[in-house]
Amino acid sequence: MTAPVTVVGGGVTGLTTALELQDRGRAVTLLTPELPHHTTSVVAAAIWHPFFQRPDPLYLRRATTALHRLTALAADPAASGVRVRTLTEFFPTATQAPWWTRELPERHRARPADCPPGYASAWAVPVPVADAARYLAHLAERFAARGGRIEHRQVSDLAAEAARTGAVVNCTGYGSAALAGDRSLSLVRGVVLRCAKPEGLHGCWIDDGDPRRPTYVVEREHDAVLGGTADPGLVATAVPEETVADILARCARLVPAVADARVLEVRVGFRPARGTVRVERDPYIPGLVHNYGHGGAGFTLSWGCAADAADLLGTTH
C-alpha cells in the first residue's frame, strides 16, 4: 500500500471518500465524533436527483459517477440498501426532459392525463434510492472489512492532523465553518416525514417548483419518506404541527395514495449549504484536501466528489 490517509467526517461524503481511497490502495483511518448512522446523512431521503441545480458539466460528471456506483450497488439491495426505482418529476408547464436526464439509460414523458391537477407535464426516469441507515451501515461495513479503522473522536485542528499523518481529506460538512474557517457555509434545515408505506405505493415523485418547499414522495422497502422543507438559517429541531400538515397536504396532491399515510417519525436534518461544493487542495496546509459543502446533494454527488478528492490527494502526497 501507499502512504496512509486520514479522512475526517463519517457521513456519506466521508465514507465514500474513504472507500474510494481504499480502492486506490491507500490505508485509511476515518475520524468522526459520531457513528455514521447518527450523522446528518441518515435523515436524507437518499434519492439520486440534482435538486435545484442549473446545468453544470462538472456537477453532471460527478453525479454521473455516483449514478453508476449506486446502480451497481443496487444489484444486491438486501446488503446495500440501494434499489433502482422510477422517479417521476412534475412540472407546471410543458417542458423538455430535464438537462441531467441525458446521462440516464432511459427517460419517458408522462401523459398529461397522468399528471395531478396543476401540472402540465412530467418525466419518468429510473434512479437509485437508498434506505439511508442501511446504506451508511453497508459503507461502514465495507470500509472495516477492508482493514479501515474508525476512531470516534473530535478533530479540532486540521493543520495539526495533516502534520501528524501527512495526508488528510476534510469531509466535515458544516463543521468546516470552524475547522476550515469557511464563512460561506450555512445551515439549511430540512424536515421530512417517515411514514408507513401505503399499500400499492411503487416509485418516487417530485415537484421542485418551490425551493423553500420541495415536495417529494420516496418509496423505500419498508416505509416511505415524504418531504419536505428547505429552511435557510433555521436551527430549531421542534417542528410545528402546521409544517407536518403542509408536507402531508402537498404530498397528497402529488400522490393521492399517501393522503392517509401514517406518520411514524418527523425527522429534522441540517444541510451544509455553500455557493459551490469545495473539492480542492488547501492553499496553506500541505497534504490537506477539502471535500464539503454539498448541501442536499451529498447522496447524488458523493462518489464523484470522492473520486475527485482522491485524485487531488494523489497529486499532493
Q: How far apart are CA 317 and CA 276, in angstroms?
A: 25
Q: Is the distance from CB of 9 to CB of 172 less than 8 angstroms? A: yes
The pLDDT assigned to 286 comes to: 95
Q: Which cell numbers hold the place of 84?
A: 433502482
* C-alpha distances out from residue 311 to 21, 57, 164, 290, Å: 9, 18, 21, 12
The pLDDT assigned to 288 comes to: 97
Q: SS3 for 117?
A: coil
- CA 99 vs. chain centroid, Å, equals 19
The pLDDT assigned to 314 comes to: 80
Q: Which cell numbers hold the place of 223?
A: 416505509
What length is written for the chain? 317
The pLDDT assigned to 317 comes to: 54
Q: Is the distance from CB of 43 to CB of 269 less than 8 angstroms? A: yes
Please name each of the domains of the chain with its CATH number. Answer: 2-316 (3.50.50.60)
pTM of the model: 0.94
Instruction: Work out the number of other CB atoms within 10 angstroms of the CB of residue 72.
Output: 12
DSSP state of 203: S
* C-alpha distances out from residue 46 to 86, 191, 216, 236, 281, Å: 14, 14, 12, 22, 28
The pLDDT assigned to 5 comes to: 97
The pLDDT assigned to 170 comes to: 98
The pLDDT assigned to 127 comes to: 96
Q: How far apart are CA 151 and CA 301, in angstroms?
A: 25
Q: How far apart are CA 268 and CA 238, in angstroms?
A: 8
Between the CA atoms of 132, 138, 144 and 148, what dihedral angle is there, to the nearest 10 degrees? -50
Among 130, 140, 108, smallest CA distance to 121 is for 108
Q: Which cell numbers hold the place of 86?
A: 422510477
Write out residues in the chain with pLDDT < 50, as ranges: 1
